[in-house]
Structure 1
Amino acid sequence: MRRQGPATLRGKAIPPTTTDQRLLDRRGPTDWVHADPWRVLRIQAEFVEGFGLLAELPKAACVFGSARTRPDSPEYRLGEEIGAKLHEAGYAVITGGGPGIMEAANKGSHDAGGLSVGLGIELPFEQSLNDHVDIGVQFRYFFVRKTIFVKYSQAFVVLPGGFGTLDELFEAITLVQTGKITRFPIVLVGTEYWSGLLDWMKQTVLPAGNISADDLDLIHLTDDPDDVVRVIVEAHEEEARKHEETEAVAETARRAGDPS
């Protein structure tokens, strides 16, 4: 029998060499660096890097949208305007750090003097962080990147996009709906683009009983950049007011229970 960390091995399961031997022998096999236990350390390192780099990030809004959007398109210009207005309202801007809508939002924030963050992802095809990112992190794992998006964003702004954008949108809705995270505003930008999806949810998913009517209230649809910012600011002002009321009630209860 051999104890190997928290594991106990017997018989044929005992490897012919020790972990230290395999680590220190340069002539040994290299496939160990691709094993799942080693991947856990890589995953941990990505979390540590992301948390450490963004720990002091001010309040921020995340902007999602297609990487395929061209710089001469109306959607790109809309992304720039939203990025700039978010900065004016006191928010840093976080995107996936790539081209298209992501680049537009980063550029709008950066050019307006704001803080522009890019959370990139390793893909089979080359895609580097865009030139308008002030703070950038490149991730290997999608789920680590998603966690960082959620942890450091106080709002999600979703412009027209494809599968990646839909993935982020529905993950955000699900996390808020299930109470896994504190409710934050989710704003869809582009009524013509998103109306069909919302109509399907209202006419098919809701009648089937798979969502409730209240769930649809988690999403705000607009075409107006000023409306985007208004929804976000008002939601956070309301959250702050409720927090103050809760603290006041707790303080009153503490004083009532204090014999002094």
Structure 2
Amino acid sequence: MNENQEQPLKERQRGPVTLRRDRSSESTTTDQRLLDARGPSDWVHTDPWRVMRIQAEFVEGFGALAELPKAVTVFGSARTKPDHPEYEIGRKLGGALAEAGFAVITGGGPGSMEAVNRGASEAGGYSVGLGIELPFEQGLNPWVDLGVNFRYFFARKTMFIKYAQAFICLPGGFGTLDELFEALTLVQTKKVTKFPVVLFGRSYWQGLYDWLHDSVEAGGKIGAKDMQLLHLTDDIDDAVRVVQDAYRAWEQVH
């Protein structure tokens, strides 16, 4: 690199705070400091004050998203490269949801999240990103129109559910699986209703789907109706149809 050429700027989010250059290399996150029980006993004095920060995150999230139109939360891997077919699928999915009148909500990061935000933004839709403080991910992708950064996973998870009418899961890792099973649990226990969960990408999700059917359901750990909470597809129009049908059913109740 030419010495006159600018070096890429290191950047990391800490809740609503942006850290750059040397400050971006802090080794711990707010969630870690809250949940890690090891260390000195000063947590007795600091934890009550953390409640105020947690409360502030909920207030900020509720305030920012209160007037959001009908929306769909889409999850997927942050590691998906822009030249990967899954990126283009995410982009088309974001555009299709926007054209159907839905805002899209993602984790605001790179990869499949960026693709969905990009597709929605390019289609003239509402593109939302809910970021999280992590030691290995940078800030919100440039296709986010409305972004909120969180310190605590549990506050962010609430926003993903509260302001969406459906979940669509593109191929992803632990984070996607975490959100998938949390959503299924909330629907199964009727904490949320009329809330479809779509697994997009048969070749990726079929093994998990079969295991749930052949082992978990067959072993009596879930019921046949629980399997019906999942919709497996390779078709963008089909995914959007499932979302629209569920939203119409929700409207009839409300």
Q: TM-score, normalised by structure 2?
A: 0.81
- Tell me if the contact between 2:233 and 2:239 (Cα under 8 Å) persists in the aligned partners: yes
Which one of 82, 85, 88 corresponds to residue 71 of structure 1?
A: 82
Computing the radius of gyration from Cα coordinates, the structure with the larger value is 1
Q: Specify the alignment match of 2:219 in structure 1.
A: 208
Amino acid at match of 1:226: D
Confirm or deny that 1:121 pairs with 2:132.
Answer: yes
Which stretch of the first structure deviates more once superposed, 34-43 or 187-196?
34-43
Task: Write out aligned runs for 1:1-260 (5 A).
Answer: 35-241=46-252, 243=253
Offset, 1:33 = 11
- Tell me if the contact between 2:129 and 2:147 (Cα under 8 Å) persists in the aligned partners: yes
In structure 2, relative to structure 1, the CA distance for the partners of 1:57 and 1:212 (3 Å cut) is same
- Indicate the SS of the match to 2:67: coil
1:23-68 residue CA offsets vs partner (Å, 9 max, x unmatched): xxxxxxxx78981011100100000000001100000001100000
Moved over 2 A (4+): 31-34, 238-241
Could you tell me which runs of 5 or more consecutive residues in structure 2 were left unpaired when the two chains were aligned.
1-41
Offset, 1:130 = 0.1
Structure with more relative contact order (C-alpha pairs < 8 Å, separation 6 or more): 2
Percent identity between the aligned chains?
A: 67
Q: Specify the alignment match of 2:23 in structure 1.
A: none
- Tell me if the contact between 1:63 and 1:158 (Cα under 8 Å) persists in the aligned partners: yes
1:141-182 residue CA offsets vs partner (Å, 9 max, x unmatched): 000000011000111010000000000000000000001112
- Indicate the SS of the match to 1:118: strand
Cα distance in 2 for residues equivalent to 1:41 and 1:240: 35
Aligned pairs, number: 213
Q: CA RMSD in A?
A: 1.4
- Indicate the SS of the match to 2:56: helix
Could you tell me which runs of 5 or more consecutive residues in structure 1 were left unpaired when the two chains were aligned.
1-30, 245-260
Q: TM-score, normalised by structure 1?
A: 0.79
- Indicate the SS of the match to 1:35: helix
1:222-241 residue CA offsets vs partner (Å, 9 max, x unmatched): 01111110111112223333
